Structure 1
């Protein structure tokens, strides 16, 4: 069913409606088959770039649509409701553009951003490492000074679009002082010395390629360093705050899809001479699912509106990510229950929704990390919160 949305402008409402229409027409019909086959939908990202979705929250002078984040996130929710792998891919791509769009020089933005926001080139975000996990201060990838810039060494883990992206936003340490030396670089996908591990075999999001990234002396010029040396921590955390809102919106879209499936099934399925939707117990279950979806949407929209207003939103982003992803896990599990035995089969998408929901509680910072961020924000101990981010 169509979600009743409150958008700030008529233009924003039209954009979200257009994305929803395209998602229903182009993504829903192929999602199940492509997920089952593990096909990577690169063509879809190009199409969404053509619609303006990949640059929706970025300024028009940088090639974007200049829309508020609350508009972009609601459009992203519609994509995720149609095909979660694509929604997550869009969220990661938009997050990977954040450092360039926010911290890059005008020359860097003019040269590199239009192809990214237009969908001609795909971005990836390479921060996590096999041993560091959520501890940014524990990152060991190094950027050593060379005659023409830097030589990057190290390994990154859990890179969405790994081996498929054209540009990787990579964080590595310059010098020996953690975390002060952390620095951001844009690495071309075809750079010599850049390699990838085998794609991870995941329980869900089979159409989303996740792979490790290996840096073996990758040469990066000064013109591909984003910000100053040592600004990487600030840049990474800023991108993650926005990225968490993207995941919250995706989780909400997934939960909405599961709710719609459950409501439709309950209205059609008949037992004891009437639709199961007429039983009070079923109505209560569906009501709790709807309340969870509405609450998830409200939390990410509050955070987005604070972001759009230029207010601090780190805690709000963590709350949104925590609430929305926990809601997705609960709602998709309940959707399987509503469908009964059919929910456990691949004939219906309920089981896929449930598998896809689980990872939302893990990436962009586990929900335990979100609680840590929220708690430290509440208690004012911000000095230590920067360590735990992913």
Structure 2
């Protein structure tokens, strides 16, 4: 369970839940499938309501608490941490952009753990910045929309109850140089699509190297009919919603921070078993690793507190630095442990693959670099 009621108080996760997730991470590393026991535990824990406003039954927390919870979960189960992060992102968008009817219908269900949300934005050929969407939304005469297309790398595919889907609803105008700094393009719109919609089909055929329990796969839209009341935000202006996402300070760097802590714990346990003394070269290497972990946590914490002059840029920096540093820590721990970690199912190798996966998740690291560079030109 999630303890604490004040927004400025760091949430505390129940140790029993963390034990369940830790065991689940071992199973999913082998199966490559989301773990049902872990999902049940998360739904019953109160975690899904973390960012839902108090008036709708949630905890009403902000980015600092999101980063803290996601990081702590990632320490034991990075795949579940990614699922949570995406759920929080959709919850926050509904809280910020949803109509009163949408909020009243969805937010209490999310807070109660009955609705798990996922984002379906990416698709093959769209580019990291989602500027060339092939999926479309067509307005019908009866006030409904028909969505068609295929989404790729959707975290939570097949396990989510609600999808935030990004489609092209009108032709985009030629973009200016300043538009290079945007994630998404003109004429794009968000729709909230229930998993029970007959026009939506998830596909979990991907055999992932990392984040194997995150249910990351494809979502097909074929004649998917949704009411205009299911549209989230202004028509054709999804970029305004996307632009505000990173301004919140919630960062995927929190997942990397949790992975880095788990890697450090592995290395310290290895040193303890080997009886390493405090003045040995190995101890010095461990201290350097611990310093890197502290640096990751510092940039993630700073992003969540929105203390930087440009909070959105700080969020990009935190994701970029944390994911790169966590991967480097994984490689160093691999060298430090030597043959002790040279087994396919060793947790070290699972964490290394998970660390690499974060760099590819949106916004992917290369896009982070481009967005930061364009901000300098402005």
TM-score between the two structures when normalised by the length of structure 1: 0.86
Q: Measure, in 1, the Cα distance between the counterparts of 2:111 and 2:329.
A: 33
Aligned to 2:239: 233
- 1:255 aligned to 2:260? yes
Structure 2 residues not aligned, in runs of 5+: 174-184
After the TM superposition, which of the residue ranges 75-84 and 51-60 deviates more from structure 2?
51-60
CA distance in 2, matches of 1:57, 1:164: 20
Tell me if 1:192 matches 2:190.
no
Q: Give 1:195-274 correspondences, 5 Å limit.
A: 195-239=201-245, 242=248, 245-269=250-274
Q: CA RMSD in A?
A: 2.3
| In the alignment, structure 1 residue 379 sits paired with structure 2 residue 377 | yes
Q: Residues of 2 paired with 1:20 and 1:247: CA distance?
A: 22
Offset, 1:11: 7.2
- Check whether the contact 2:28–2:213 (CA below 8 A) recurs between aligned residues: yes
Deviations 1:261-289 (A, max 9, x none): 101211221xxxxx335464212321221
Would you say 1:159 and 2:165 are equivalent positions?
no
- Structure 1 residue aligned with 2:96: 102
**In structure 2, distance between residues paired with 1:301 and 1:44:** 27
User: Number of paired residues?
Assistant: 363
For residues 60-89 of structure 1, what are the alpha-carbon distances to aligned partners after superposition, in whole Å with 9 as ceiling and x for unaligned?
113320123212311221111011111111
- How far does residue 29 in structure 1 lie from its aligned partner after superposition? 3.0
Q: Is the 8 A contact 1:245 1:321 kept in 2?
A: no
Trace 1:343-382 onto structure 2 (pairs within 5 A): 343-346=341-344, 348-380=346-378
Give 1:259 shift.
0.2
Which among 37, 42, 59 is matched to residue 31 of structure 2? Answer: 37
TM-score by length of 2: 0.89
**Superposition deviation, residue 44 in structure 1:** 2.6
Distance 1:57 1:293 in 2: 26
**Deviations along 1:109-159, whole A, 9 cap, x unmatched?**
010122123321211101111001213221121111111321111111110
Question: Are the aligned partners of 2:52 and 2:91 in contact in 1 as well (CA < 8 Å)?
Answer: no
| CA distance in 2: counterparts of 1:379 and 1:277, whole angstroms | 51
Q: CA deviation at 1:104?
A: 0.3
Shift in alpha-carbon separation, 1:196–1:33, aligned structure 2, 3 A: closer
Q: Is the 8 A contact 1:45 1:90 kept in 2?
A: no
Moved more, 166-175 or 195-204: 195-204
SS at match of 1:112: helix
SS in 1 for 2:220: strand
Q: Residues of 2 paired with 1:8 and 1:59: CA distance? A: 12
Distance in 2 between residues matched to 1:206 and 1:189, nearest whole Å: 21
Partner in structure 1 of residue 292 of structure 2: 292
Q: Pick the structure with more helix per residue.
A: 1
Contact 1:241–1:318 (Cα < 8 Å) also in 2: no
What residue number does 2:281 align with? 281
Specify the alignment match of 1:304 in structure 2.
304
Kept in 1: contact 2:157–2:204 (CA 8 A): no
Structure 1 position 358, deviation (Å):
0.5
Q: Distance in 2 between matches of 1:53 and 1:246?
A: 17
Distance in 1 between the 2:100 and 2:37 partners?
Answer: 29
Query: How many angstroms apart in 2 are the aligned matches of 1:246 and 1:192?
Result: 33
Taking the aligned partners of 1:236 and 1:168, their CA distance within structure 2 comes to 15
**Cα distance in 2 for residues equivalent to 1:120 and 1:230:** 30
Report the Cα offset of residue 20 of structure 1.
5.3
**Contact residue 49 and residue 117 of structure 1 kept, 8 A:** no
Give, in angstroms, the shift of residue 236 of structure 1. Answer: 2.4
Point out where structure 1 has 5 or more consecutive residues left out of the alignment: 1-6, 270-274, 381-390
Q: 2:87 aligns with which of 44, 68, 93?
A: 93
